[in-house]
């Protein structure tokens, strides 16, 4: 009978792993290595302790399988009795690593019939099921190093001593304690190195066989990850050289790789860099380095830190806050000075394999050419691990490669994708840096390396304490990146800088080429944050996208291998270029080898058991779930009012009660699905969506069996599995008036650094010209074209554009802080978030077209003098007061039922369709009419442009003003509200919004394929489908219609199907039916009509004009909405401008022929118009501020007003 053996499936989704009984077929296919077969023999599968397993080989009469054991610890060993009086609080943490192999083979031999068995056990080898891992190893293992046994004893308790003396494979019979343990760590390291090499040889033989050329190999990202990313790390320390220390080169560059590779990069001899004990100790004291360990329950700690301060522990209990920690050593890094994380042997081995492939005719080729390899290495040469720059470049690596007869095309494809990146021409980006290095000579690379080491050496000589403090701070920064990862199993191994106690504050630092420290820029921080957050989850893997603004290149990161879960290696560190006796390692975080140097008081170190925790309690309805519903803590505004609204609306719409335990229990799965997909709650404010922690609490409650209160003990049942897909997330555009100084500075820095608004030949100048030459006006595409424009800008800068809400009542109040241009557009300077430097404010100092403003008086964009002067201007009140009219016009547009009138509808079922005879005095009541949102909205849109002016008032100049982005973001917000409220709106969906492609994320100026371009249909949809939302305004809007969901419209109705639609006037056809809204016809009875001033035949003009409309007998022609009762309103006609060369933009098709209309509601002067139906207009050239004579404007289309009376 076969033994009962199980195999375990790791779910990687937070749920319990699944154990399955292995049948004979599974055993035959998978239990094929030495240990798999051994388990199936006799009673071997019943072994349940580490000791019994080791003794199966130790007691074997055949000496060929006698094991060798190493003692492994997380740190050097401290003498607890000297360090703390109550040393019994501590319990040393030991692992025993036992290797077993055939006597005639080497460890990790790759030949047939060879095997190596690794058995890892804890400090109680007789505990049942207590050994940690058993592996018949065909791959790499961690670089555990053994420890000198005599240094252990002071840390061992009487129980430890008794346990270890009684085990013959730990202590020889009659020998001293731990005498059976191997004390030569180099033996283990040699074995592990060989195992790693064999593993990579096996991988290489599968992907790149030696006997033939694999013309289309796979697993490319797995190989190149070793070059671009840090898949595992090594830990090293400083070297002792008599009275001073040598700074190891591994601390400063990728020594592991570059000294194993056949490369000329490191031709220059690396200089010896020394430091002295007193300088080092002062730097350590300044940083308050300590060796820490969690105190046991009830013990008084020396310091309180977040529970995850030492990393390694992956618990997700939200109740875990802070813990007491003991200082095992104070102002010290332990037995070894200057601990640093290094690049690993594993990554070096992977790169060596991929760069040493067999080519034709016994040649050697690499996936990358020498030129490209050198450029990649020189990108962030000074940061050998956790380089955000190389990590970002990884996204341009193709998923696969082809052999072209001489070499693989990976190199050429990679370089081409980087060149086509939107970042390729932006200085201070990895893409730009790589391309510059690509054309750099080898000698220049070598000179850069020499200069780098010279700078470090000079710093260490000139101000050694400051330099050491910097480099030790850099070491702490890298440890804090590393600690949360699954690789970190070492807890108190590494020192902790109490100078920076808050581990929740990112500590992202990097080395600069001049040997100084600098803060990693926001793009790099975003990459590292997303990457390490992904790695520390239940399913660790490389993040799928490192970019907020992806390039044209296909992103290959999603195919990268998962990082190794193995712990960090610790290798001996050697010096270079010195004669005489080799320096001796002063210590290593994992061992204390024999040396002739002074020790640190003979101290040793140990590790505690995990802190005991009480089990998590399940959330209950009464204590947890109902409060989430009734008083949602995360929402904007009053949580109680929001919760009540949710409950009332569900009673109204769904006839069930969110405050009812039974109702929520019955619909729990559906509720969760709606909440997670953000289809509930119905809201325009993204802050009101349920956060992940609230969703997880709800899911946990459901799976716990819906406990009503703490006394309830229902049966758990997994009704809602842990979601595998990422939660819905949206980019959020916020009201610019709601941003803090720090948040605003990030946006300003994007304009400054990426778009370079203050530079000629910049991306900013290109964007301004794109708008001047390509924007669409006087048609339904207007606002949807600008939607694509904003999306393109956001992809470039990787940041949501904040909107300026001029549609709040407060904006029309001269005394309100919301009046006028938002103050951040007028400030002189800002503080850059990366280097804290004070810089010119890009929101104000943006270069206009070619560095010449519309007025020609300044190189930067200019605005209305009244708005610049603010409340001190005598015209301030009148200027701000115009917003009252503007608000009425926006509200009128938002109240319409149709977005636009199609070309077909314009000639059918609209004015004159039901008129049988014509005369010059037809009654207005005969004319059916319809207001359209797009025309009304563009009308007020133009008014705002003219209001800001002068640059904003001319289409050639307008997009060079940063206020243009925030203004159009608000117009997009309002247009989106209208679209969301009218899901049955019809659009010319196939109309191309040139030059945008890929849903507005890229541009193509000359592609003849119309189908490539983004269309109206792509943009005329819910913004969430485009990846973004708007946060609630800082001051509320005047009016907005209810969304379709708020109206109870679950989905729009399809229209069409008619073979013919008959106009009004044909017998039996009461009115013209139309699918695109409601056409208002003449009323049959008395109706109340209102006057409107209408301009027809409106089209594009070169210059911009302001039309102020007054009653015919107006006593004053001052456009003042509050002081002049004869002022009807204002229309701004934004000119297309004269273009870059002064003869008009080259794209003449951006405007329709003069066919648009503009309209002003004139109800406020109704009585005057009853007496006199004419109106008077004053036309002003916005550029010159000179009045235009009637003889001149009469020649232009759309400047003749007509008063019409319409039933509303």
Contact 50/57 with Cβ under 8 angstroms? Answer: no
Query: Residue with structure tokens 């606002």?
Result: 783
Alpha-carbon gap, residue 948 to 946, rounded angstroms? 5
Q: Which of 393, 357, 395 is nearest to 377 (CA)?
A: 393
pLDDT, tens digit (0-9, with 9 covering 90-100), for 370-409? 999 999 999 999 999 999 999 999 989 988 899 888 889 9
**Number of domains making up the chain:** 5
Domain-embedded: residue 119: yes
3-state secondary structure of 1196: coil
For residues 497 and 447, membership in a common domain is answered with: yes
Query: Residue with structure tokens 């603010």?
Result: 870
Instruction: Supply the CATH number for residue 1140's domain.
Output: 2.60.310.10
With bands split at pLDDT 50, 70 and 90, how would you rate the model's confidence at 93?
low
The residue out of 178, 204, 230 marking a domain boundary is 204
Q: Please return the burial class of 288, using the count of CB atoms within 10 Å of its CB with bins 0-12, 13-18 and 19+.
A: middle
Alpha-carbon gap, residue 290 to 78, rounded angstroms? 13
Cα 1144 to Cα 766, 950, 956, 1100: the distances in Å are 17, 18, 9, 12
Determine how many CB atoms are found less than 10 A away from the CB of residue 1207: 14
Domain-embedded: residue 77: yes
For residues 184 and 228, membership in a common domain is answered with: no
929 pLDDT exceeds 80?
Answer: no
751 pLDDT exceeds 70?
Answer: yes
With bands split at pLDDT 50, 70 and 90, how would you rate the model's confidence at 464?
very high
pLDDT, tens digit (0-9, with 9 covering 90-100), for 930-943? 578 988 899 899 99
* Amino acid 307: pLDDT: 73
Q: Which of 886, 906, 902 is nearest to 894 (CA)?
A: 886
| Selected residue with higher pLDDT from 1074 and 680 | 680
Alpha-carbon gap, residue 346 to 377, rounded angstroms? 17
Alpha-carbon gap, residue 494 to 76, rounded angstroms? 10
Arithmetic mean of pLDDT, 879-883: 95
| Least confident interval from 81-95, 432-446, 770-784 | 81-95
Pairing of strands 274-276, 496-497: unpaired
Q: Annotate 512-555 with DSSP letters as a single string.
A: -TTS-EEEPPHHHHHHHHHHHHHHTSSS----S---SS--SSPP
pLDDT, tens digit (0-9, with 9 covering 90-100), for 562-609? 333 223 333 333 333 333 333 333 333 322 222 222 333 333 333 322
With bands split at pLDDT 50, 70 and 90, how would you rate the model's confidence at 1076?
very low
Name 954's bridge partners: 1135
For residues 344 and 493, membership in a common domain is answered with: yes
| Selected residue with higher pLDDT from 602 and 709 | 709
138 pLDDT exceeds 60?
Answer: no
Residue 1153 tokens, joined = 């022929």
The residue out of 511, 530, 555 marking a domain boundary is 555
85 pLDDT exceeds 60?
Answer: no
Alpha-carbon gap, residue 816 to 822, rounded angstroms? 11
Query: Residue with structure tokens 């309180």?
Result: 304
* Amino acid 1193: pLDDT: 94
Alpha-carbon gap, residue 606 to 609, rounded angstroms? 10
Residue 441 phi, psi (nearest 5):
-70, 155
Pairing of strands 1089-1098, 1201-1207: antiparallel
Q: Which of 753, 756, 744 is nearest to 802 (CA)?
A: 744
Q: Which of 799, 798, 801 is nearest to 786 (CA)?
A: 801
Alpha-carbon gap, residue 414 to 396, rounded angstroms? 6
Domain-embedded: residue 340: yes
pLDDT, tens digit (0-9, with 9 covering 90-100), for 619-644? 999 999 999 999 998 998 888 999 99
Cis (ω within 30 of 0) for the bond into 688? Answer: no
Domain-embedded: residue 897: no
Helix (H) or strand (E) holding 969: helix 963-981
Q: In this structure, is the dihedral angle defined by the CA atoms of residues 462, 468, 471 and 474, taken in order, positive or negative?
A: negative
For residues 625 and 478, membership in a common domain is answered with: no
pLDDT, tens digit (0-9, with 9 covering 90-100), for 965-993? 999 999 999 999 999 999 988 898 889 99
Name 1095's bridge partners: 1158, 1201
Dihedral angle at the C-alpha atoms of 583, 589, 591, 595, nearest 10 degrees? 30
3-state secondary structure of 508: coil
With bands split at pLDDT 50, 70 and 90, how would you rate the model's confidence at 695?
very high
For residues 530 and 435, membership in a common domain is answered with: yes
CA 352 centroid distance within chain: 32
> Which residues span the domain enclosing 811?
732-873+954-1030
3-state secondary structure of 19: strand
For residues 165 and 261, membership in a common domain is answered with: no
Cα 297 to Cα 83, 302, 491, 584, 613: the distances in Å are 19, 14, 17, 40, 9
Q: How high is the mean pLDDT of the chain? A: 80
Alpha-carbon gap, residue 807 to 215, rounded angstroms? 62
870 pLDDT exceeds 70?
Answer: yes
Residue 1193 tokens, joined = 């404007």
Tallying the residues shown for the chain, one arrives at 1208
* Amino acid 595: pLDDT: 27
The residue out of 678, 709, 729 marking a domain boundary is 729
Alpha-carbon gap, residue 97 to 69, rounded angstroms? 6
pLDDT, tens digit (0-9, with 9 covering 90-100), for 524-542? 988 888 887 777 666 666 5
Domain-embedded: residue 521: yes
For residues 225 and 200, membership in a common domain is answered with: no
* Amino acid 731: pLDDT: 94
For residues 186 and 227, membership in a common domain is answered with: no
Cα 289 to Cα 295, 328, 469, 489: the distances in Å are 18, 11, 11, 20
The percentage of the chain sitting over the pLDDT mark of 70, rounded to a whole number, equals: 79
27 pLDDT exceeds 50?
Answer: yes
Determine how many CB atoms are found less than 10 A away from the CB of residue 287: 22
The percentage of the chain sitting over the pLDDT mark of 90, rounded to a whole number, equals: 40
* Amino acid 573: pLDDT: 32
Determine how many CB atoms are found less than 10 A away from the CB of residue 998: 18
How many CA atoms lie less than 13 Å away from 747 in the CB half-sphere? 23
With bands split at pLDDT 50, 70 and 90, how would you rate the model's confidence at 1067?
very low
180 pLDDT exceeds 90?
Answer: no
For residues 189 and 259, membership in a common domain is answered with: no
* Amino acid 596: pLDDT: 27
| Least confident interval from 46-60, 153-167, 428-442 | 153-167
Sheet with 1127-1133, edge to edge strand ranges: 1127-1133, 1105-1111, 1175-1181, 1186-1187
* Amino acid 680: pLDDT: 87
Sheet with 303-306, edge to edge strand ranges: 303-306, 322-330, 289-294, 496-497
Alpha-carbon gap, residue 690 to 672, rounded angstroms? 10
For residues 737 and 868, membership in a common domain is answered with: yes
Cis (ω within 30 of 0) for the bond into 681? Answer: yes
| Selected residue with higher pLDDT from 338 and 871 | 871
Q: Please list, residue by residue across 876-890, b when 16 or more beta carbons sit within 10 angstroms of its beta carbon and e when fewer do.
A: bbbbbbbbbbbbbbb
Contact 787/1000 with Cβ under 8 angstroms? Answer: yes
For residues 689 and 782, membership in a common domain is answered with: no
Residue 1184 phi, psi (nearest 5):
-95, -15
Q: In this structure, is the dihedral angle defined by the CA atoms of residues 776, 777, 780 and 782, taken in order, positive or negative?
A: positive
Q: Please list, residue by residue across 447-471, b when 16 or more beta carbons sit within 10 angstroms of its beta carbon and e when fewer do.
A: ebbeebbebbbebbeeebbebbbbb
pLDDT, tens digit (0-9, with 9 covering 90-100), for 320-372? 667 788 887 788 887 678 888 889 889 999 999 999 888 877 788 999 999 99
3-state secondary structure of 1170: helix
Cα 680 to Cα 651, 683, 684, 686, 1021: the distances in Å are 14, 8, 11, 11, 19
Domain-embedded: residue 589: no
Arithmetic mean of pLDDT, 159-173: 87
Please indicate, yes or no, whether the overall pTM of this predicted structure exceeds 0.75. Answer: no
| Selected residue with higher pLDDT from 786 and 149 | 786
3-state secondary structure of 653: helix
pLDDT, tens digit (0-9, with 9 covering 90-100), for 818-834? 999 999 999 999 999 99
Query: Residue with structure tokens 């005498």?
Result: 179
For residues 255 and 372, membership in a common domain is answered with: yes
Contact 940/894 with Cβ under 8 angstroms? Answer: no
Helix (H) or strand (E) holding 52: helix 50-58
Residue 154 tokens, joined = 């002071």
Residue 1123 tokens, joined = 């002081």
* Amino acid 581: pLDDT: 35
Domain-embedded: residue 923: no
Domain-embedded: residue 696: yes
Contact 746/799 with Cβ under 8 angstroms? Answer: yes
pLDDT, tens digit (0-9, with 9 covering 90-100), for 1109-1163? 999 999 999 999 889 999 999 999 988 776 655 544 445 455 556 668 889 999 9
- Which stretch, 241-255, 699-713, 751-765, 994-1008, has highest mean pLDDT? 751-765
Phi-psi region of 1144 (alpha: psi -120 to 50; beta: other; left: phi over 0): left
| Selected residue with higher pLDDT from 600 and 460 | 460
With bands split at pLDDT 50, 70 and 90, how would you rate the model's confidence at 1081?
very low
| Least confident interval from 202-211, 843-852, 1042-1051 | 1042-1051
* Amino acid 1151: pLDDT: 58
């Amino acid at each position: 009978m076969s033994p009962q053996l199980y195999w375990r499936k790791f779910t990687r989704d937070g749920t319990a792993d699944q154990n399955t009984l292995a049948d004979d077929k599974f055993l035959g296919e998978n239990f094929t290595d030495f240990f798999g077969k051994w388990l199936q023999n006799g009673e071997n599968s019943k072994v349940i302790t580490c000791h019994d397993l080791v003794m199966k080989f130790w007691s074997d009469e055949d000496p060929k399988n006698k094991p060798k054991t190493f003692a492994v610890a997380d740190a050097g060993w401290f003498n607890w009795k000297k360090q703390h009086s109550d040393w019994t609080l501590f319990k040393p943490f030991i692992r025993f690593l036992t290797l077993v192999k055939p006597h005639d083979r080497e460890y990790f031999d790759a030949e047939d019939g060879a095997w190596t068995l690794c058995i890892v056990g804890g400090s109680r080898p007789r505990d049942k099921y207590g050994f940690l891992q058993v592996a018949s190893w065909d791959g790499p293992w961690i670089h555990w190093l053994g420890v000198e046994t005599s240094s252990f004893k002071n840390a061992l308790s009487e129980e430890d001593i008794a346990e270890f003396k009684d085990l013959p494979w730990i202590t020889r019979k009659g020998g001293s304690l731990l005498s059976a343990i191997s004390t030569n760590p180099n033996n283990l390291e040699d074995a592990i190195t060989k195992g790693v090499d064999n593993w990579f040889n096996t991988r290489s033989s599968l992907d790149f066989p030696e006997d033939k050329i694999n013309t289309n190999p796979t697993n490319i990202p797995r190989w190149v990850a070793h070059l671009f990313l840090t898949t595992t790390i090594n830990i090293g320390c400083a070297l002792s050289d008599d009275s001073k220390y040598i700074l190891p080169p591994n601390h400063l560059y990728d020594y592991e790789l570059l000294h194993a590779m056949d490369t000329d990069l490191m031709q220059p001899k690396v200089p010896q860099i020394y430091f002295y004990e007193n300088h080092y100790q002062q730097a350590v004291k300044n940083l308050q380095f300590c060796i820490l360990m969690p105190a046991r329950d009830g013990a008084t700690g020396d310091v309180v830190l977040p529970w995850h301060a030492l990393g390694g522990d992956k618990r997700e209990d939200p109740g875990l806050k802070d813990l007491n920690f003991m200082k095992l050593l104070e102002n010290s890094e332990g037995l070894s000075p200057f601990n640093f994380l290094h690049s690993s042997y594993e990554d070096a081995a992977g790169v060596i394999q991929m760069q040493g492939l067999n080519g034709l005719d016994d040649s050697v080729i690499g996936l990358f050419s020498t030129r490209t390899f050198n450029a990649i290495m020189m990108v962030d040469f000074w940061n050998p691990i956790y380089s955000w720059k190389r990590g970002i470049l990884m996204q341009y690596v193709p998923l696969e490669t082809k052999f072209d007869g001489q070499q693989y095309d990976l190199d050429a494809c990679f370089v081409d994708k980087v060149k086509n990146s939107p970042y390729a021409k932006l200085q201070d980006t990895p893409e730009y840096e790589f391309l510059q290095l690509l054309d750099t000579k080898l000698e220049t690379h070598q000179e850069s390396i020499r200069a780098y080491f010279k700078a470090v050496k000079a710093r260490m000589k000139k101000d050694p304490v400051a330099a050491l403090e910097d480099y030790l701070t850099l070491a702490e920064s890298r440890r804090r990146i590393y600690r949360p990862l699954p690789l970190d199993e070492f807890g108190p191994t590494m020192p902790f800088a109490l100078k920076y106690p808050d581990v929740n504050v990112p500590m992202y630092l990097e080395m600069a080429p001049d040997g100084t420290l600098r803060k990693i820029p926001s793009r790099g921080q975003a990459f590292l944050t997303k990457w390490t957050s992904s790695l520390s989850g239940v399913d660790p893997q490389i993040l799928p996208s490192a970019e907020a603004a992806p390039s044209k290149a296909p992103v290959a990161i999603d195919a990268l291998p998962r990082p190794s879960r193995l712990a960090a290696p610790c290798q001996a560190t050697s010096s270079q270029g010195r004669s005489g006796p080799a320096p001796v390692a002063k210590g290593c975080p994992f061992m204390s080898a024999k040396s002739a140097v002074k020790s640190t008081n003979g101290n040793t170190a140990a590790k505690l058991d995990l802190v005991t925790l009480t089990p998590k309690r399940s959330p209950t309805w009464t204590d947890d779930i109902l409060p989430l519903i009734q008083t949602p803590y995360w929402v904007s505004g009053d949580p109680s009012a929001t919760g009540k609204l949710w409950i009332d609306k569900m009673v109204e719409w769904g006839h069930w009660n969110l405050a009812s335990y039974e109702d929520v229990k019955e619909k729990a799965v559906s509720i969760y699905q709606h909440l997670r997909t953000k289809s509930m709650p119905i809201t325009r404010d993204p802050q009101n969506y349920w956060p992940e922690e609230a969703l997880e609490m709800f899911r946990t409650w459901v799976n716990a069996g819906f406990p009503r209160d703490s006394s309830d003990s229902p049966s758990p049942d997994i009704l809602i599995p842990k979601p595998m897909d990422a939660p819905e997330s949206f980019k959020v555009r916020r009201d610019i008036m709601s941003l803090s100084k720090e948040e605003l500075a990030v946006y300003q820095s994007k304009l400054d650094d990426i778009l370079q608004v203050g530079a000629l030949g910049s991306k900013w100048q290109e964007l301004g010209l794109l708008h001047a030459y390509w924007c669409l006006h006087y048609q339904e595409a207007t606002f949807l074209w600008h939607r694509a424009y904003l999306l393109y800008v956001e992809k470039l800068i990787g940041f949501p554009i904040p909107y300026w809400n001029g549609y709040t009542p407060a904006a029309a109040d001269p005394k309100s802080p919301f009046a006028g241009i938002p103050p951040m557009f007028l400030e002189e300077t800002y503080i850059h978030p990366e280097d804290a430097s004070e810089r010119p404010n890009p929101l104000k100092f943006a270069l206009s077209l070619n560095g010449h403003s519309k007025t020609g008086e300044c190189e930067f964009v200019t605005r209305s003098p009244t708005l610049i002067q603010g409340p001190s201007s005598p015209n301030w009140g009148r200027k701000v007061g115009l917003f009252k009219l503007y608000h009425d016009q926006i509200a009128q547009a938002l109240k319409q039922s149709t977005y636009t009138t199609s070309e077909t509808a314009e000639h059918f079922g609209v004015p004159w369709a039901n008129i049988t005879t014509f005369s010059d005095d037809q009654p207005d009541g005969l004319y059916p009419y319809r207001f359209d949102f797009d025309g009304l909205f563009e009308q007020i849109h133009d008014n705002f442009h003219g209001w800001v002016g002068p640059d904003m008032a001319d289409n050639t100049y307008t997009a060079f003003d940063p206020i243009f982005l925030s203004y159009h973001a608000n117009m997009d917000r309002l247009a989106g509200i209208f679209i969301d409220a009218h899901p049955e709106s019809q659009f010319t969906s196939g109309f191309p919004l040139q030059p945008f492609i890929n849903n507005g994320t890229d541009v193509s100026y000359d592609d003849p394929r119309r189908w490539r371009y983004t269309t109206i249909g792509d943009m005329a949809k819910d913004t969430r489908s485009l990846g973004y939302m708007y946060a609630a305004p800082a001051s509320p809007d005047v009016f907005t219609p209810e969304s379709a969901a708020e109206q109870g419209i679950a989905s729009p109705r399809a229209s069409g199907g008619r073979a013919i639609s008959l106009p009004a006037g044909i017998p039996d056809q009461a009115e013209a039916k139309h699918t695109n809204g409601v056409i208002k016809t003449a009323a049959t009875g008395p109706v109340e009509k209102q006057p409107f001033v209408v301009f027809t035949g409106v089209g594009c003009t070169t210059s911009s004009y302001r039309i102020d409309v007054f009653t015919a007998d107006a006593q004053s022609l001052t456009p003042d909405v509050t002081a002049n009762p004869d002022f009807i309103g204002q229309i701004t006609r934004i000119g297309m401008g004269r273009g870059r060369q002064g003869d008009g933009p080259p794209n003449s098709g951006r405007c329709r022929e003069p066919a648009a209309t503009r309209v002003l509601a004139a109800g406020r002067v109704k009585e005057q118009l009853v007496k006199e139906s004419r109106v008077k207009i004053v036309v002003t050239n916005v550029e010159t501020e000179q009045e235009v004579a009637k003889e001149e404007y009469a020649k232009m289309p759309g400047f003749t007003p007509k008063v019409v009376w319409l039933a509303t």
